Structures are given as C-alpha cells and as structure tokens.
A = this chain, B = another copy of it.
C-alpha cells in the first residue's frame, strides 16, 4: 500500500496542486477560504451554519438523494414480463465486497410473493425416517451458522455469448450479489428427519407459483448448503425469499430456492423443468451440458467502465474490480490495459475467501491514451478465467448460461468506456 503510494507521490502531488489551482470559481474559492481557518467560512458553507436532521427523522435510513442512480435496473426486452424477470446490481457504483440488500439483484419466475413468518412452513419428506414440518420458530431453535457467499445467476453475462455488448458492468455482470447469511445447515435439518440409506439427492422447491424445483446431490446438501433466514444481519428482503431461502455456495443462483417450502429426499434427480429445458447449455452439435452447477472463476473491472467513466485527466488512476469462483477462493487477479497482450498482477483488498466476492485494485497512472481494460481471475484449484474466444471454441455460440469469459472495456482518451470484443 504505502509503497504503491510512495512510488506515485510526486505525480500525485503535482496533480493535486493542479486541481487546487485550476478550478476557477467554486473550487478556487472553496480552497482559498479553506486554506485559512476562518469563522466566515460558514458564510459560503450553509451546512456548517445551522442544524441538520435529528435522530428521529429516519428510523430506517435510506441513501441520500444524490445517490438516486445507485439502484437495481432491469431491461424490459430480456423476458416476456417483469414478473418472470431479473434486475441487476449496480456493481459499477459499489465498492468493497458486501452488497446491501436494497440494491442486490433479484430474479424470480412468478414474481416476489409476500409470505408471513406465521404462515411459513418447511416440509422435509421423501426418503427420511421421520417426515417433518417446521415452522419459522422451529428453525430458530437449531444451531446457526454465518457465512459470506456470492449468489450469481447462471445467466449472468449470458447476453454476451453472441456479442450483445450491453453497455455497462451493471448489465453485463450485475446478476450477482454477496452477503453475510445466517441460517441453519441443511445437514442439521436432514439429520433431524433422518436420511434413509437410499436417499442420494434432495429436491428443493419454493412456495411461489413457479415453485422453481431443483435437484441437489446429497454430497452438496450435506456439505455447505444453508437454510437461511437473514442476510447482512437483517431478515431477507421480500424479493430475496423472505422469510427463508436456500443458500447453495458457489452454485448457480437458480438453485438458491426462495420462499423455501419443501425438501424431498429422493434416490435420483427429479429432472425438473428448471434443470432440463432450462439451466442446461446447448453446445454446437445440438447436445446439451447438464448439471452445470458450479460457477466458474470470473472477474470484471467495475471502474472505470461504461457507467463509471474516468472523469479526471491523466495521472493517478484506481482500477477497481470484483473476482469470484464457485470452486473456492480467488488466489490472483491480473489486469491488462492492452486487450490481453500484457498483464499486471492486481492487489487483492483481502485474501480471497471461498465462494465470496473478492475486491481487486490496480493502482496505476493513466497516460491519457486509450486502453483495452481486461481482468483475469485465478482460483485455488488453478483454474484460469478464459477469453471469450477460448470459451466459444469449447461451447460454441448457442449457450446462454455460464459465460465466465474475460470482459473488455475500451476506455477512450476522453475517459468514456465502451463494451467491446477483442479477438
């Protein structure tokens, strides 16, 4: 850190002097006044004169009005109706790794339903010794776990397969969020009912009209799956499955069943609609990849990006981005400014954590010339994020899901950025 900084000390100071001097009007004036601590300073700074809001104004605080653009957005052409659609997390405007629930993407197949805790029931049936029905209050009596995990829709970046080139990280990579979940291990719930020896899979479904049933192999069900009722400390938002959703670390978001209603232990996969006609990947030869549950290592530069252009001139520039892998922890991220010809190793804000977002930075100096910005993630299994070309070679152009290819932003001399393809 401090080393990184020292290396740029001079240039940064030069640029800052520039900034302080350049700004005619507001900036110049503000700076001049500020330079001499002066009681009259308040005359130009109304906020320093009177009183602000009291503590009773906002029992539940909302973002300040200046941040009104940092919200989820959906695209009306993506699906037939918004009740069977998705919206996108404004990752271009967020920092760190935690996604606030308020702007965390949502995807559902028949709309976000309203289900009260008192009406909530979770049934465990099928190949178990004791079929059980849990109330919400019952779930609160089992040992709890807390884990930060990312949830990514299998369709994230899907429109890029054929080169749709949506103009912004929010739309190309925003079907993802990262929260601290509190819940009961599915292992605990299954042990309570007693899984019979022939039970090899669980079939999970939601209480909404679509039910969105999915099959999960018993190994995963007994490993790290959570029956979760809190996210970032609070109750789940209605649109995220209040009061209870399934958390399936590292696996595609569609399996994170919301409004979780039933867990049936079966001897084989159910082959439901959501795992046959949907959420499979059609290859060049017409055959389909099935059971593509894990989200492969992936990354994206969130700033600069089309929605977050460079608004300053050349000089010190912070390139910020996100990396993640459904197979474990991110171990390294490289950044390229020339479309993949040369790479620099980025700084990870913290060591990567299993199935959680990792924030990476490249603290650099911009020469004011155009850049072809890319990021390339590596995870603890040794997997390296592929280029779009490499991905197409093995998967063709018919796929929708599981596009984890390297993203390219063309940053122009004026600081604006565009979503482009480089071969």
Return chain B residues, CB-CB under 8 Å to A234.
63, 67, 70, 94, 100, 103
Q: Which residues of B contact A50 (CB under 8 A)?
A: 209
Chain B residues near A142 (CB, 8 Å)? 5, 12, 316, 318
Contact B51 A72 (CB under 8 A): no
Q: Quick one: given A1-B143, A47-B259, A233-B96, are A116 and B60 in contact (CB under 8 Å)? A: no
- Residues of B contacting A63 in the complex (Cβ-Cβ under 8 angstroms): 60, 234-235, 237
Query: Assuming the A-B contacts A52-B108, A63-B234, A103-B234, are A141 and B191 also in contact, with contact meaning beta carbons closer than 8 angstroms in the complex?
Result: no
Chain B residue nearest to A85 (CB atoms) is B55
Question: How far in angstroms is the closest Cβ of chain B from A336?
Answer: 20
Q: Which of B35, B45, B123 is close to A125, meaning CB atoms less than 8 Å apart?
A: B35
Instruction: Find out whether the CB atom of A1 lies under 8 angstroms from the CB atom of B141.
Output: no
A218 CA to B277 CA, complexed, in Å: 63
Inter-chain contact A233/B317, CB cutoff 8 Å: no
Pick from A13-21, A160-168, A401-409 the stretch touching chain B: A13-21
Interchain CB contact under 8 A, B67 and A30:
no
Q: Assess whether B207 is in contact with A47, with CB atoms less than 8 Å apart.
A: yes
Interface residues of chain A: helix, strand, loop or mixed (majority): mixed
Inter-chain CA distance A30–B138, complex, in Å, is 14
Q: Nearest-CB distance from A260 to chain B (Å)?
A: 13
| Known A54-B82, A59-B73: A230·B95 in contact at CB below 8 Å | yes
**Bound-state Cα–Cα, A238 to B26, Å:** 22
**Docked complex: A157-204 residues within 8 A CB-CB of B:** 179-182, 185, 187-188, 191-192
Q: Looking at the assembled complex, report how far the CB atom of A203 sits from the nearest CB atom of chain B, in whole angstroms.
A: 10
Give the residues in chain B near A191, CB-CB below 8 Å: 2, 5-6, 9
Closest to A1 in B: B143
Indicate if A374 sits at the interface (CB-CB under 8 A): no
**How distant is the Cα of A109 from the Cα of B92 in the complex, in angstroms?**
34
* From B13, B181, B192, contact of A13 by CB (8 A): B192
- List the interface of chain A (C-beta within 8 A of B): 1-2, 4-6, 9, 12-13, 15-17, 19-20, 23, 26-27, 30-31, 34-35, 37, 45, 47-64, 66-67, 70-74, 81-83, 85-87, 94-104, 106-108, 110-119, 121, 123, 125, 130-135, 137-138, 140-146, 179-182, 185, 187-188, 191-192, 207-209, 211, 229-230, 232-235, 237-240, 242, 259, 261-262, 264, 311-312, 315-318, 320, 347, 349-350, 359, 361, 363
Given contacts A37-B262, A55-B108, A70-B235, 20 further A-B pairs with CB under 8 A are: A1-B188, A20-B133, A54-B81, A54-B111, A54-B112, A55-B86, A55-B107, A59-B71, A61-B102, A62-B62, A64-B114, A66-B235, A67-B234, A94-B233, A95-B146, A96-B230, A97-B180, A98-B180, A98-B232, A143-B318
21 residue pairs of the A-B complex, CB under 8 angstroms, read: A2-B185, A2-B188, A19-B135, A37-B262, A37-B264, A45-B119, A47-B113, A51-B110, A53-B239, A54-B83, A58-B72, A59-B72, A61-B72, A61-B106, A63-B235, A97-B233, A98-B98, A98-B179, A100-B233, A140-B318, A144-B318
